[in-house]
Each structure stands twice: as C-alpha cells, then as structure tokens.
Amino acid sequence: MSIRYSVADHIVTITIDRPERRNALDLDALDALADAWARADADDEVRAVILTGTGDVAFSAGADIRHFTDDWSRVEPVHPAFYPELSLRKPLLAAVNGFCLAGGTELLLACDIRVAAEHATFGLPEPQRGLFPAGGSAVRAPRRLGWANAMELLLTGAPIDATRALQIGLVNRVVPRGEVVPTTRVIAARIAANPPFAVRIIKECALRSDGVPLIEALEQVRGYSQRHAEAPETQEAVRAFREGRDPEL
C-alpha cells in the first residue's frame, strides 16, 4: 500500500509510503489518502491525526506527474485528498521529515499544526512548470501566511528552508532530524487527552469563521457556544469540574 494507516492511543498516523519517488502521490495514493481522511473522521476512538512520509528524505514531493501526463484532469482540479478540511473534523498534524514540495506543501497548509525537521525544504514550484497549484494553496497560503509571504511562495516557485518556513508561519516548530514524529506525537497526545467534543467544535468554528468578516464571525461564535453548552459532553465536563475530577471522555 502506498498509504499506511495505523492507530495507537487515540492517534492515527497516516504515512505516505513511496520513498522511491520521494513520497510523491500517484492516483492510487491520492485515492487511499482521501479514504484515510474519511476513515479517521468516522472512527469515534480517533482524536487526532498525524500525516507524515516514509524515511527522512521526503514528506512528499507532491503529485507524481509522470502518472498524469496524459490526463492531468485526473488530479486537477479537486482531488479530495488535497482537501481534508472537507471530510476530516479532527485535528490534523504534519510531521515534515524532508522535501515538502508542490502538493506536499499544499497538504501541509491543510494541516492545523506542523512540525518540521531542520533539513526540510518547502516550496510551490508549479508556476515554474506552467502549472496551477490545484491543492488549495492559492487560497490557503494568503490566509495562513499573510499576503506578501504567500505571493512570494506562489508566484516565484522558489524553495525555502525550515528556518524561513518557521519565520513566515508555515510551520510551528523546527526540530532535529529524528525528532519530528516523536515531537508531533507529543503534541497530538496533548490534544487527544482533551475532551474530543470540545476539540472538534473549536476546530469547526475556526474553519467556518476563517476569512469571514468580524461581526459575522462573532455571531457564528455565539451559535457554536450555544451548541456546545447544550451538548451532553459539555454537561459531563461541567459536572466533572465541580466534582474535582477528570471528565469521562
């Protein structure tokens, strides 16, 4: 399988497993990755998801273009693998262990929390090849990184190193080689230790209000707050707080 899926301690690890192609994604891998988003979302035992690549050379070099030269429309414009926000309601973390280019960076931008190795390289080289970044980065990058940082990545196609990625907010942390997945698992475990309903509704509110005018977004917050207050999970959390115990998750 080109996508490996494993579960431990309420955390799913999804691994792109094509090291011979720098974990580039062919159509089978894209289909399997989309299935993995849906599988993790449907499993009530899963509280956080980590995306990484096999080895320490590459996270993902993006779409494996040699598989799509005759029919680029099979991957462009909207393969669901590149849009986990549409099917995965749970927190998604990236453990970037090397090259993170093109579709790899587009997947990275879809992740909520991102940890990178010191030797990682990032970039959106599509314009250098006359291609459009169809995995959502033309929308995500300006919202996540600010206009000027996003436009430099999107329009030049030039790569950046991990230090620069940290400076512009493309990643949260940069750690030594070999510590990427363990560090990401520590963060995922902290998330998984929280009541899952609260985590899920916080992420949903953040996504739904992204880019929405402030007044409209605050109205949405009121709605989410009411929904949260009425949930049985919230009632249990309040009782647990009053009784000085951990809530029953």
- Residue-wise pLDDT for 149-199, tens only, equals 999 999 999 999 999 999 999 999 999 999 999 999 999 999 999 999 999
Domain ranges of the chain: 3-192, 196-243
3-state secondary structure of 5: strand
Q: Write the DSSP symbol of residue 122.
A: E
Predicted TM-score (pTM) of the model is 0.93
User: pLDDT at residue 77 above 60?
Assistant: no
> How confident is the model over 21-35, as a mean pLDDT?
93
Buried b (16+ CB within 10 A) or exposed e, 134-157: bbbbeebbbebbeeebbebbbeeb
Measured in degrees and rounded to the nearest 5, phi and psi for residue 106 equal -65, -40
- Candidate CATH numbers 3.50.50.100, 1.10.10.10, 3.30.390.30, 3.90.226.10; the one for domain 3-192: 3.90.226.10
* Annotation marks residue 216 as catalytic: no
pLDDT in tens, 148-160: 999 999 999 999 9
Catalytic residue of the set 45, 76, 118, 126: 126
Q: What is the pLDDT of residues 199-225, one digit of tens each?
A: 999 999 999 999 899 999 999 999 888
- Per annotation, catalytic residue among 45, 76, 106, 152: 106
With contact defined as beta carbons under 8 Å apart, do 26 and 65 qualify?
Answer: no
